[in-house]
Structure 1
Amino acid sequence: MVKRSISDTSLASDNEPNDEEIPDPDLDQTTRKSKKRKIPTLDKITGKCTIDTHPSALDHRLTAQESFCELLRWWRYSIMQSFNVQLVDFTVVRRERHERVGTRTVTEIVYKAIDQSSLDKRELGYIQFLNTMSSKAGVVKIVSRQSTLQPETLLALPTPDKSQDHLPQPVNNLARAMLNFVGSGTNHSVSCQSGGVNMNFNFNTERELIARMSRMSPTAISKSIRSTSSRVDSLIPFYPRPSIDTILSIGETGEGRAGNNKWIKRDKVSLMEFGIWCECALFLQVINEEDIVRTPAGDLILDSKFRDNIYHRGFILHERSKTTNSSLSDKQLRYGYNIVHGAVDKEKKHMSSLQEESRAFMSIWDSAFKQRPQLVGLLSGLLNDWQWGDVELAQQSITRDTVVRLRDYLFKDTSKWYYPTSARQNPQLDQIIAGLGRQGRELKDSYWNILQAHGMVYTAELEHQRRFLASKCISIPDHDLTAYTSRAQEAPLADERPMDHKQKYVGPDMLSLDLTAISEGTGEYQSIKFGLVKLLATKNS
């Protein structure tokens, strides 16, 4: 429902408890809600009006951090759209100042958005936290340059019916964000100035979200600009104009109705609250460049502070906790990931599937190696541990290029021979590896299977056979002892073999093993476990 007043200059205030729409008793609930959804655009608001919409305090609300995240999604999108900024070029710079005034300390934190590809690096928007002289808490402002925020975007509840990836416009939950901020969760006032219209948000007596809107007069616009420009020491990059810019404010002084229908005094935003809210966006975090690898596929975050965090295009998907992990594998992540490509679920909590998550992780690793080849050791360690969700389903999504890098990393030490865990069942494994002149190193079966699927590894037994077949045949020395031992060794080899088979012997010149025999015709071979024969053969080979 829309109620318009005849006033063109008076501003709607969050303090006006009586400025509410009374439902028409002749309309049923369905018709009433249908009318509520007819939200005017900014250019249609010529005076003062109250928009009574469908979102209710009884609806599912977002957390304060999730609510702030929704505002940031719109903020970044509006800047990118207004100035044609690519995602890879959207950059945020943080500035902070603390000024001692009497017994109080004024704290200001500003995040400035710039287009990294532009020549002038002009600021295209900013986020500001500024406390007041009377309190450590303050007001948060989100400013987007040369953009408008329509009431429909603010108040509608979108219901996407599919996973979100490369949508032309992100599906926002701004209405739910408003519900949380003005509701009993945080009790912060929220206002918006855009397109020359001032909007304040509150609950009506039906516990539904309403927006009181009024067309700003030239005097009101000038007053708004002066109030910002009067702070000569401020870190903000420009003075926003409500007629052409969009200004979202959270935490200003005032009163309003809470979701429980009680009239309350609104709270300011504490510095701790603001810090927690900002954790939802990777581009608002301070990370040393050596602790993050930025690639076209996404970012690999090595800083332990971001362990087990998954971001999708810069926004956190699921905040880790002591009881839950962010990965769909339900395993902890050793590193953090900012995924650029791939679909997320409707609630923007996870990737659309574990397979999608795994593909994104492996794609980021593959791209990271092209910038920092030395990181292959980190992935190798993950694969040989397998308690980490980073490599869940890696066998399905790992690329051959990455497998080649893993092979080269493992085999650069030629003194090692790798074998799968399952090979330990062979009691002669250590002897075979020692016979190859190597030191055994175990790989988890899952890691081994990845290498084997790409033809990068084979067993010690196969290597022993290969060397054996490449060895030179020798003759047994012609004296009584060697003839006796030769017949003794041929006896077990002749079991169940045709009489016309002939045994040949190879010396240990290529294998540090006992004397070995090969049967002509079948190609089968067998080590002869008799130390004296090995000794004599060595002396006469």
Structure 2
Amino acid sequence: MAEYRDPFDDSDDFSDGTESSVSSYDYDLTLMDGNGLEDIKRTAHESLNLGNGYQGTWYGQEAFREFYQNWRDGIVRSFNIDPSDFRTETQTLKMQIIIRAISPHTKNLMGYIQFKWDKNNLGTLQLVNFNAALHKDHLVNGGTTKAYDKTQSGQYGEGMKLAALIMRRRPQNHTVRILSSGFMWNFSFNSKAVLTCTLTKEKEDKLRKLKAKEEDRKKQHKPRELKPNIWEDVAVQIGSGRSERTQDRINQRKKKSDKIRLADFKRWLEVSIDIAPPTNIVRTREGDLILNREYKNKTYLKGLLLPNSSVSGKPLKYGYNFREGDTSRDRTSMAYADDEAFIIAKIWGAALRADGDIFTEDSLIARYTKLLEKTFGGHKDYADVHDADCHASESTVKKVWAYMLSPAKYRNGKAPFYYSPTDSTDASKIIRDCLKREPVLVEERLWNMFCRHHLCRTPDKERYHRFHKAALSDLSNATCFANHMLQTLAACLRSDPATSDMKLSFVDTRDLGLDVIYLRKERMWKINDKWLTFDGAHEHTACVLDQDDTRFHLLHELFLCDHAATSLFRIMIDELSGQDTGNTPLKELKIRLESNGSIRIPQMVRAVRLSVKPEALMVTWKSSGRLAMISGHCKQQTSVVLHRTDTCRDKRNIPLYREEEESCDCPKQTVPPTCHKALFNNLSADHFYFPMICTAEHGSFYAVPPPSKRPLNGEETAAAGLKKEPSETDLVHISSGDSSSDSDIDASEPFSPGLQTPIESPRTASRPSTRHSFPQSATVDRTSHSSPIRATPDKDLSNIDDVLSQLRDYNSKAQEALKSMNTEAAWRILFETQIEHKDLGWEAFPGNHDWYRAINRNGQSGFFARSRAPPAEDETYADSDYQVTAKSAAAALQDMERCMLTLSARNEKLGDRELREPRSSKPVKFTNPKASANARPTTATPHADVGVNGSAREDRAISQDSLYRLTPRPQERPQLPDQGPVQASVLGISRNTPIRTIQSVTQFTGMSPPHSKRAYCESVSDHDGKSENEENSTVKRFRHL
């Protein structure tokens, strides 16, 4: 055999000036020894056992890809580098192209590819990788050491042999020769047109000389040249142009092989991403994401092109280079679509992690999200996200969700809220109205992907979640309305053993459209704090009172909206399920809870107040039970316990009255149902106290306790000019629905809708009455804790003349009081606030007036009565208004009431001769000092009088109470000029509302019923100054007496 001659010996030498390291090569771990070639003396022929038509669709590019794969895999393994670190440098000269593989660690040359061409653009190709060797077994099909090495691309052990076959057969017809392990491996067809490999051993003399030169180079530390060493390298030489036998069986003559065209070689280079890498590529340990448009719909496996792109058959929006994976037998694509989708998902996950939190329109997360939306939405099915809902990692899905919530996805300037087609039909309305977001519909597959990682919620679940996480409401400055709602709900839950351990909390939910939620695990109710306000509690609940009425009562700590508490508790009951009731059937529990609430809530005591006195505390309250408005029908007594704050602080939070729980020694009183006050004497001024009040019945609801207070000590009593309350011998317990007294008139208390009970003097308390019957609860009860109201008149009133004298004295006092009224505090009727007199609780009060709420310039509130009789022709509307009196008039009126009570007690003996008006067909005329001479008189219709016990008597005609001024009907009132702004009041009256100045008050022409005082003294205060028109002051009252 002829001596081996390097076909590139006549070429120019190129060196990179570096020294390579020595390692093993892919084909074998040895260089010369143990490679299966030891028995070959000179020449050997090995058949490759490949049919000439095998892989008939492959051509030169596919064959080059196999050679290139072996070249790169050999370098990676020989020099022990990571495949992702493999880089090449390309140098293009005048007549050759050199591609060098440079070590990423030492920068030494690890191998090279060299293509030289002539003037006809025809040339030869050489692929050289240093420190490698071939083994004889590599000529056998399946012979490979790379099948289970993830750093290697080869897996079937036929790449080198198949590439040689394709290069040798038509239409390529290129020679293939390999220099390795001291042998020349020449691939050609034998006489039977079967591809064989002839192995020819290099001569020993030649080999010794070459080795000696290499040793000298190393000693001189010179870099490797672009020449292979046949004993330690692998060099593949293609297209030398020798004459060899072809595959044609008919014509067995040798034929000169073809050289490689330059254009073909450049096209071959496209099979590798390493030689001409893309400019826009994201490299990760999972693989590479190629964003260049020219790489669209291309896939690479370890840097080598897979001709058929995606195995799923779907188009790819971007290009991908897989670091691992199995290919099909023909190397055209990945072996399995599911594996391919999984690897692509991993590449995107790694790329998104490397991209950080960049949410611009050109960011990777934006690109990936668009792929998901288009594919899952059915617009276009991309292989990039094939089965992404199954393969995408949690971090990837979370990042997609974060991007979808970012400002980049806002619509109309509003944050989106995503919902699925399976949500309720009102989902979009809930999103807009309750969640304040822009509803965006997403496809079910994308929605399910988010749900799998617990990222999204339906609109209803989002409302529930926000409600659950809402901040607790600040109840430090809770209003009367809020406190009563809290106390009522707590008591309702404690009223039944199945719910007694449940807790309450109010949260600020920002109008989520939910009222309550029940947290079963915590046994906790969370309630929308809108229920703590009048407007919120009446959002979907009607109220018999208007807003001004309710606000007025709430200012005086009087809660009248039991229906609101009942409605909320009913909503809570409906939220319960069978697992919340223990051993109690759900239906039975709901009926029981609703029954308890409907009975106990109206029985609650209201408006509890604690006023300080010298070494004593006065507790007053009101009740709104239905039976409290019917005299003689309310038998429930009231339990009042005054607790010391330092010893019984925890008692304040007890919502329910239970007899067995009373264990402290604090003073207690049991009060008749018609009495609304309790005095506790002989208290220490060093301690604070608070009262707990409820009806004296097991299971009753406690009222909202007022703030703790302490009695006045001696110094404070002296400084205030007060005196200690009289002893019990001077006081009697008065069973009266009125909470005011001689010594302590509370000018801010609202009217209590209960019937008054007459008061007997000590002299007449023991006298039986045949004309009037007293209810049992109204009897005088002398106790140590009695009311401070004195019931003994100043002088003996046994004679009727003395009584009339007393009334005349009262009339004079009233005149003086009315003169001192502040007329600047003009009153203004609040129209649209008309109420029925029956709603005021005055059963026997004459019904020929229309009643309205009113407010004056000082912000005071009261009632106005407007007569239904038309005014005289020359009578002005200003003159026909009834005005509420000042505090001084109220005090004088109380004196009159005492006289009237005494007079009523003596009624039987006197026979009512002086008090009874003779029946007559002529009506009683009212006089008006300001009316003109020809003014038409106003008539008083006979009405029922009020007896001493509140019963109606029809045999008496009395005129209306003239402490009111007649007000015209709203539809008859003319438009008056604006006479100045009204002071802002607690009722929210406009500052610019026109008002009318009252010039005078009309005369008194009749006596007021003893029980009607509060009607015209609802809100009074001291006034200074005189009336503007003193000559029109009140004339003598009780003229008919």
Name the TM-score, length of structure 1 as normaliser: 0.71
Cα gap change, 1:68 to 1:141, in 2 (>3 Å): same
Establish whether residue 52 from structure 1 lines up as the match of residue 47 from structure 2.
Answer: yes
Task: Find the aligned partners of 2:405 and 2:205 in 1 and give their Cα distance.
Answer: 75
Q: 1:197-218, CA deviations, whole angstroms, 9 ceiling, x for partnerless residues?
A: 2222111232211123322337
Question: Is the contact made by 1:503 and 1:519 (CA closer than 8 Å) also made in structure 2?
Answer: yes
Question: Is the contact made by 2:73 and 2:151 (CA closer than 8 Å) also made in structure 1?
Answer: no
Quote how far apart the aligned CAs of 1:84 are. Answer: 2.3
The aligned counterpart of 1:252 is: 240
- Report the 3-state secondary structure (helix = DSSP H, G, I; strand = E; otherwise coil) of the residue aligned with 1:170: coil
1:357 corresponds to which of 325, 328, 340: 340
The aligned counterpart of 1:434 is: 432
Q: 1:221-249, CA deviations, whole angstroms, 9 ceiling, x for partnerless residues?
A: 789x99xxxxxxxxx96322223222111
- Report the 3-state secondary structure (helix = DSSP H, G, I; strand = E; otherwise coil) of the residue aligned with 1:193: strand
Q: 1:36-73, CA deviations, whole angstroms, 9 ceiling, x for partnerless residues?
A: xxxx8444433233333322313334432222122122
Question: Is the contact made by 1:310 and 1:339 (CA closer than 8 Å) also made in structure 2?
Answer: yes
1:287 corresponds to which of 275, 278, 288: 278
The number of residues matched between the two structures is 433
- Report the 3-state secondary structure (helix = DSSP H, G, I; strand = E; otherwise coil) of the residue aligned with 2:230: coil
The aligned counterpart of 2:399 is: 405
Quote how far apart the aligned CAs of 1:441 are. Answer: 2.9
Question: Is the contact made by 2:128 and 2:234 (CA closer than 8 Å) also made in structure 1?
Answer: yes
Which structure is higher in strand share? 1
2:128 corresponds to which of 120, 125, 143: 143
Cα gap change, 1:58 to 1:287, in 2 (>3 Å): closer
Quote how far apart the aligned CAs of 1:345 are. Answer: 4.3
Establish whether residue 84 from structure 1 lines up as the match of residue 80 from structure 2.
Answer: yes
Aligned pairs (5 A) from 1:340-419: 340-373=323-356, 374=358, 375-386=364-375, 387-413=381-407, 415-419=414-418
The runs of 5 or more residues in structure 1 that have no matched partner are 1-6, 15-39, 100-105, 227-235, 321-325, 483-500, 506-517, 525-538
- Report the 3-state secondary structure (helix = DSSP H, G, I; strand = E; otherwise coil) of the residue aligned with 2:334: coil
Cα gap change, 1:366 to 1:167, in 2 (>3 Å): closer
Whose Rg is larger?
Answer: 2
Cα gap change, 1:412 to 1:270, in 2 (>3 Å): same
Task: Find the aligned partners of 1:355 and 1:165 in 2 and give their Cα distance.
Answer: 22
2:257 corresponds to which of 262, 266, 274: 266
1:109 corresponds to which of 71, 85, 97: 97
Establish whether residue 158 from structure 1 lines up as the match of residue 136 from structure 2.
Answer: no
Which structure is higher in helix share? 1
Task: Find the aligned partners of 2:355 and 2:261 in 1 and give their Cα distance.
Answer: 40
Quote how far apart the aligned CAs of 1:418 are. Answer: 3.9
The aligned counterpart of 1:497 is: none
Q: 1:405-435, CA deviations, whole angstroms, 9 ceiling, x for partnerless residues?
A: 1121111237232435625x86545433332
Cα gap change, 1:284 to 1:13, in 2 (>3 Å): closer
2:175 corresponds to which of 189, 193, 209: 189
Quote how far apart the aligned CAs of 1:461 are. Answer: 4.2
Instruction: Name the amino acid aligned to 2:296.
Output: R
Quote how far apart the aligned CAs of 1:313 are. Answer: 2.0
Task: Find the aligned partners of 1:401 and 1:237 in 2 and give their Cα distance.
Answer: 49
Question: Is the contact made by 1:112 and 1:126 (CA closer than 8 Å) also made in structure 2?
Answer: yes
Establish whether residue 176 from structure 1 lines up as the match of residue 162 from structure 2.
Answer: yes
Task: Find the aligned partners of 1:384 and 1:168 in 2 and give their Cα distance.
Answer: 37
Instruction: Name the amino acid aligned to 2:135.
Output: Q
Question: Is the contact made by 2:116 and 2:125 (CA closer than 8 Å) also made in structure 1?
Answer: yes
Question: Which stretch shows the higher mean deviation, 351-360 or 375-384?
Answer: 351-360
Question: Which stretch shows the higher mean deviation, 442-451 or 385-394?
Answer: 442-451
- Report the 3-state secondary structure (helix = DSSP H, G, I; strand = E; otherwise coil) of the residue aligned with 2:229: coil
Question: Is the contact made by 1:184 and 1:260 (CA closer than 8 Å) also made in structure 2?
Answer: no
Task: Find the aligned partners of 2:154 and 2:88 in 1 and give their Cα distance.
Answer: 20
The aligned counterpart of 1:239 is: 227
Question: Is the contact made by 2:48 and 2:161 (CA closer than 8 Å) also made in structure 1?
Answer: no
Question: Is the contact made by 2:421 and 2:442 (CA closer than 8 Å) also made in structure 1?
Answer: no
Report 1 or 2 for greater relative contact order, CA contacts < 8 Å, sequence distance ≥ 6.
Answer: 1
Quote how far apart the aligned CAs of 1:127 are. Answer: 0.9
Task: Find the aligned partners of 2:192 and 2:5 in 1 and give their Cα distance.
Answer: 20
The aligned counterpart of 2:65 is: 69
Task: Find the aligned partners of 1:165 and 1:352 in 2 and give their Cα distance.
Answer: 17
The aligned counterpart of 2:196 is: 210
Cα gap change, 1:167 to 1:298, in 2 (>3 Å): closer
Cα gap change, 1:456 to 1:140, in 2 (>3 Å): same
Task: Find the aligned partners of 2:142 and 2:394 in 1 and give their Cα distance.
Answer: 41
Q: 1:333-377, CA deviations, whole angstroms, 9 ceiling, x for partnerless residues?
A: 111222224444454444343222222112111211222123222
Question: Is the contact made by 2:83 and 2:151 (CA closer than 8 Å) also made in structure 1?
Answer: no
Instruction: Name the amino acid aligned to 1:281.
Output: S
The runs of 5 or more residues in structure 2 that have no matched partner are 8-34, 214-223, 359-363, 376-380, 468-511, 516-527, 532-536, 548-564, 577-987, 989-1041
- Report the 3-state secondary structure (helix = DSSP H, G, I; strand = E; otherwise coil) of the residue aligned with 2:45: strand
Question: Is the contact made by 2:417 and 2:431 (CA closer than 8 Å) also made in structure 1?
Answer: no
Quote how far apart the aligned CAs of 1:145 are. Answer: 1.0
Establish whether residue 468 from structure 1 lines up as the match of residue 463 from structure 2.
Answer: no
Task: Find the aligned partners of 2:78 and 2:428 in 1 and give their Cα distance.
Answer: 67
Question: Is the contact made by 2:36 and 2:136 (CA closer than 8 Å) also made in structure 1?
Answer: yes
Task: Find the aligned partners of 1:504 and 1:76 in 2 and give their Cα distance.
Answer: 77
- Report the 3-state secondary structure (helix = DSSP H, G, I; strand = E; otherwise coil) of the residue aligned with 1:522: helix
Question: Which stretch shows the higher mean deviation, 294-303 or 238-247?
Answer: 238-247
Task: Find the aligned partners of 1:503 and 1:334 in 2 and give their Cα distance.
Answer: 59
Cα gap change, 1:351 to 1:52, in 2 (>3 Å): closer
- Report the 3-state secondary structure (helix = DSSP H, G, I; strand = E; otherwise coil) of the residue aligned with 1:441: strand
Quote how far apart the aligned CAs of 1:189 are. Answer: 1.0
Cα gap change, 1:397 to 1:169, in 2 (>3 Å): closer
Q: 1:241-282, CA deviations, whole angstroms, 9 ceiling, x for partnerless residues?
A: 223222111111122233233443312112222122222222
Task: Find the aligned partners of 2:406 and 2:575 in 1 and give their Cα distance.
Answer: 33
Cα gap change, 1:391 to 1:168, in 2 (>3 Å): closer
Task: Find the aligned partners of 2:452 and 2:367 in 1 and give their Cα distance.
Answer: 21
Aligned pairs (5 A) from 1:88-99: 88-97=84-93, 99=94
Task: Find the aligned partners of 1:355 and 1:145 in 2 and give their Cα distance.
Answer: 38
The aligned counterpart of 2:112 is: 126
RMSD (CA atoms): 3.6
Aligned pairs (5 A) from 1:448-459: 448-459=447-458
Task: Find the aligned partners of 1:383 and 1:327 in 2 and give their Cα distance.
Answer: 17
Quote how far apart the aligned CAs of 1:453 are. Answer: 1.1
Quote how far apart the aligned CAs of 1:151 are. Answer: 4.2
- Report the 3-state secondary structure (helix = DSSP H, G, I; strand = E; otherwise coil) of the residue aligned with 1:468: coil
Task: Find the aligned partners of 1:327 and 1:502 in 2 and give their Cα distance.
Answer: 67
Instruction: Name the amino acid aligned to 1:389.
Output: A
Establish whether residue 337 from structure 1 lines up as the match of residue 326 from structure 2.
Answer: no
Question: Is the contact made by 1:93 and 1:113 (CA closer than 8 Å) also made in structure 2?
Answer: yes
Question: Is the contact made by 2:311 and 2:335 (CA closer than 8 Å) also made in structure 1?
Answer: no
Task: Find the aligned partners of 1:286 and 1:88 in 2 and give their Cα distance.
Answer: 12
Quote how far apart the aligned CAs of 1:522 are. Answer: 2.9
The aligned counterpart of 2:443 is: 444
The aligned counterpart of 1:33 is: none
- Report the 3-state secondary structure (helix = DSSP H, G, I; strand = E; otherwise coil) of the residue aligned with 2:192: coil
Question: Is the contact made by 1:92 and 1:283 (CA closer than 8 Å) also made in structure 2?
Answer: yes
Task: Find the aligned partners of 2:299 and 2:571 in 1 and give their Cα distance.
Answer: 59
